[in-house]
Structure 1
Amino acid sequence: MGAITTTLNWTALIGWTVVAVMTVFLHLSGDDTPSGELMKITLFCELICASETLKIAAGLLRGDLALSFTVHYTRLLMYFVTMPHSEVSTTVVKMILLAWSLTEMFRYPMVLFPEVPLLRTIRYATPLITFPLGAGTEAYAAYKVLMVTENMLLKPVLGLVVLINVGGGTLWYPGMIHKVVRSVSGKKKAK
């Protein structure tokens, strides 16, 4: 792993941790609206994550290109279109931020320390909780905006998010469970 990649990975890990902590404190304080600072940190971290899609496409990083594109296209659409929309409640925005940040908080340690089997298991297990939360709230936010937008370009894009997050999520979830089982059984074989 090169120095720039390592620096970006540590930056993303720290940044997503800050997003998670700020989101939890925001909720506990009773304040509903995410601050501009929280949203800027979120965008910065998401752009680091989205840059990995380009690395996968260039063959510099292993990964599922279609899945990476879909995840980060959806996140950026949520960030710029649905999260700031008046039809989407601040509770939904906070749930999306929490799902994204927790997912990445538990993914980056495995990226930074790939030789640690426990980190791989945690990385694969975390989305069993965060994926339904994130995909569900993203689909709900997309649906809320879809129902009121008059923008004919946004309608199919938002409809696609609902379809992919609900339909695709239902299809992908068993595979996610399989990865956790395989990771745990691989850890046991190593002993």
Structure 2
Amino acid sequence: MESRKTASVSTRYLIAYNALSAALWAGVLGRTVLLLPLVGPTHIHESLGDYTKWVQTLAILEIFHIAFGLLRSSLPTTILQVASRLLLVWGVCDRFSAPQQSNAYTSMLIAWSITEVCRYTYYVINLSGGSGGVLNWLRYNTFFILYPLGAGSEAWCIFRALPEVYAKNETYYWVLVAILATYGPGLYNQYTHMIRQRRKNMRGKKRA
């Protein structure tokens, strides 16, 4: 009985966390789409930079969810994914003007926010006992476009920042160059992983 009660509390917490995250990322998406025709892509960071970096920072909790056993997922992979996003919002786009004024910043937000709205909403429905429906299809199909768009935008933001970084801190410059070199293999691994997950998910649907 006690374990069932604990599980229920954990499930309610995870539903609340995922619902909040979905709403916050929907805010990023909605504000980006609304502001884009008004201010243009080179000024999106001025309006959304602070909001986005704090929304992304909330994802640190997902590391603790896995560490404390609330979720079953790869801890190293989650740490890497969260850290790479934090590097972009805090260590690159927040500190240097070139990526802030790049079209890639806007395309990065669009790719991230659509992905996260689908992902977190899917988790809410799944944890609530639903089947996902359209969201299940979106989760396992939109990555074909959104992953390359997101990774390409991230890499371009880092690339655009490099001249400014070099002028301020040569060591940090070489750190970012090394990180930039991992984007190709990293995208390939992430992309093929999602393709395998999609096949597994689609097989399950066909059997049902």
TM bracket, shorter-chain basis = 0.7 to 0.9
Give the Cα separation in 2 of the matches to 1:46 and 1:2: 22
Task: Name 2:5's counterpart in structure 1.
Answer: none
Cα deviation, residue 133, structure 1: 0.8
Give the Cα separation in 1 of the matches to 2:11 and 2:194: 29
Q: Any unmatched runs of 5+ in structure 2?
A: 1-9
Cα deviation, residue 72, structure 1: 1.3
Structure 1 contact 13–109 (Cα < 8 Å) conserved: yes
Is 1:77 matched with 2:87?
A: yes
Task: Name 1:159's counterpart in structure 2.
Answer: 177
- Of the three residues 108, 122, 125, the one matched with 1:113 is 125
Structure 2 contact 25–55 (Cα < 8 Å) conserved: yes
Q: CA-atom RMSD, angstroms?
A: 2.1
Q: 1:51 to 1:170 in 2, by over 3 A?
A: same
Is 1:176 matched with 2:194?
A: yes
Structure 2 contact 53–90 (Cα < 8 Å) conserved: no
> Where do 1:30-179 residues align within 5 Å?
30-31=39-40, 32-34=42-44, 38-84=48-94, 85-88=96-99, 89-114=101-126, 115-118=130-133, 119-150=135-166, 151-179=169-197
Q: 1:143 to 1:28 in 2, by over 3 A?
A: same
Aligned residues: 190
Rg larger in structure: 2
Task: Name 2:16's counterpart in structure 1.
Answer: 7
Structure 1 contact 95–134 (Cα < 8 Å) conserved: yes
Structure 2 contact 165–173 (Cα < 8 Å) conserved: yes
Aligned sequence identity (%): 27
Cα deviation, residue 35, structure 1: 5.7
Q: 1:164 to 1:11 in 2, by over 3 A?
A: same
Structure 1 contact 8–48 (Cα < 8 Å) conserved: no
Cα deviation, residue 36, structure 1: 5.3
Give the Cα separation in 1 of the matches to 2:52 and 2:182: 23
Task: Name 2:206's counterpart in structure 1.
Answer: 188
Q: TM-score, normalised by structure 1?
A: 0.87
Structure 1 contact 96–137 (Cα < 8 Å) conserved: yes
Structure 1 contact 140–162 (Cα < 8 Å) conserved: no
Structure 1 contact 19–38 (Cα < 8 Å) conserved: yes
**Deviant stretches of 4+, over 6 Å:** none
Q: 1:153 to 1:8 in 2, by over 3 A?
A: farther
Secondary structure of the residue aligned to 2:44 is coil
Structure with the largest fraction of helix? 2
Q: 1:110 to 1:174 in 2, by over 3 A?
A: same
- Of the three residues 24, 27, 37, the one matched with 1:18 is 27
